[in-house]
Amino acid sequence: MKSGFIAIVGRPNAGKSTLLNTIMQQKLAIISNKPQTTRNNIQGILTDEDSQIIFIDTPGIHKPHHELGRTLNKSAYSSLQDVDVIYYMVDASVPFGSGEEFVLNQIKNKSENIFLLLNKVDLLNREKVMKLILQWQKRGDFKEIFPISALEEFNVEALLKTTKEYLMDGPMYFDPETICDHDQNFLISELIREKVIYRTEEEIPHSVAVVIENRDETDNKILIQAMIIVEKSSQKGIIIGKQGKMITSIRLDAQKELRLILGKRVELDLYVRVEENWRNKEAKIHQFGIGEMDE
Ligand code: GDP
Ligand code: MG
């Protein structure tokens, strides 16, 4: 039995969550085209006959602007220790710049086994990809370089095959049935948060948290009560919308998808509460389950 831990790192929007979802073929992480949607180190666990790979999806590494940014960075770095392989993921469709250089320098000496994943090659032609590989070879000491498309599942199989060659003989850390070590409430709250962000577009930034307050299950349905927490009363107004239209759309979107995931009819109650400036209060950040406090 071979087993090991893989951290997926890279700038926000590189495609880390998409890759994890493609690998797990299930909606584990929350995908959004806005940076910084993934906050916790969501683990996907891939078990087959002879191996178990545990994936850690790190929140994007970037220069912090406020408290929340600092917490994100901290948990991104802490997950780099003790992993067997780092997948360093780059959005190959955007030019190399100082932001990318910053991340590259942060991870450079963190592991022996860094795989460079040039993602989104579906947006590029062959020549461009070849050119990028040559350029990236000079930037760091990568064990492997894989041009991939996380979205179109290009080269992901090959990546997994090679990854297994880097794993050591080890125990099965998790029950083979386990695909994700977060509890279901976490997945539910992330899903609701995703719907809030989609529906409200630019108006609601990432200053929104969702807490599951109550969950009741009967034979044919699941009742869920969830609290959406925002920073300003103006944001509360946006989320509720004219005559409650917005929150109804959010609720219906979430209900529909929760039904698919939970396999039962779902009745969702949503509430909105204002917690001023919660992003800058570290205690609150942890209360909402984001980041790791003890280090
Ligand atoms: P993360 O912030 O690194 O977790 O990035 P996400 O996985 O949330 O992806 C950010 C955006 O890039 C989303 O809109 C994805 O659909 C898109 N994306 C991810 N992988 C690919 C890819 O291989 N090709 C293309 N064209 N888009 C991708
Ligand atoms: Mg993500």
| Residue-wise pLDDT tens digits, 90-123 | 999 999 999 899 889 888 877 889 999 999 999 9
Q: 151 in ligand 1 pocket by Cβ < 6 Å?
A: yes
Q: Which of 13, 19, 79, 123 for mutating ligand 1's site (highest number of atoms within 8 Å of CB)? A: 13
Q: 145 in ligand 1 pocket by Cβ < 6 Å?
A: no
Percent over 70 (pLDDT), the chain: 74
* pLDDT range class, residue 67, cuts 50, 70, 90: low
Per-residue confidence (pLDDT) for residue 147, from 0 to 100: 98
Whether pLDDT at 168 is above 80: yes
Closest residue by CA, ligand 1 atom 12: 15
CA-30 nearest atom, ligand 1: 8
Average pLDDT over residues 51-79: 60
Show Cβ contacts of residue 271 under 8 Å, excluding neighbours closer than 6 positions: 213, 225, 226, 227, 228
Question: What is the amino acid identity at position 276?
Answer: E
* pLDDT range class, residue 26, cuts 50, 70, 90: low
Show Cβ contacts of residue 225 under 8 Å, excluding neighbours closer than 6 positions: 212, 213, 214, 215, 268, 269, 271
Q: What's the first-to-final CA gap in the chain, in angstroms?
A: 32
Whether pLDDT at 143 is above 90: yes
In tens, the pLDDT along 210-249 reads: 888 888 888 888 899 999 998 888 999 999 999 999 999 9
Average the pLDDT over each of 30-39, 66-75, 230-239 and give the range with the smallest value.
Answer: 30-39
- Token pair, residue 89, equals 């993921």
Q: How many CB atoms lie within 10 A of CB 64?
A: 13
Q: 13 in ligand 1 pocket by Cβ < 6 Å?
A: yes
Per-residue confidence (pLDDT) for residue 132, from 0 to 100: 97
- Token pair, residue 92, equals 């190959």
Closest residue by CA, ligand 1 atom 27: 120
| Phi and psi angles of residue 87, each rounded to the nearest 5 degrees, phi first | -90, 110
The strand ranges marked E within the chain are: 2-10, 42-48, 51-57, 85-91, 114-119, 144-147, 168-169, 209-217, 221-230, 265-274
Q: What is the pTM of this model?
A: 0.66
CA-31 nearest atom, ligand 1: 8
Euclidean distance between CA atoms 274 and 17, whole angstroms? 29
Q: 156 in ligand 1 pocket by Cβ < 6 Å?
A: no
What is the number of residues in the chain?
295
Q: 31 in ligand 1 pocket by Cβ < 6 Å?
A: yes
Helix (H, G, I), strand (E, B) or coil at 181: coil
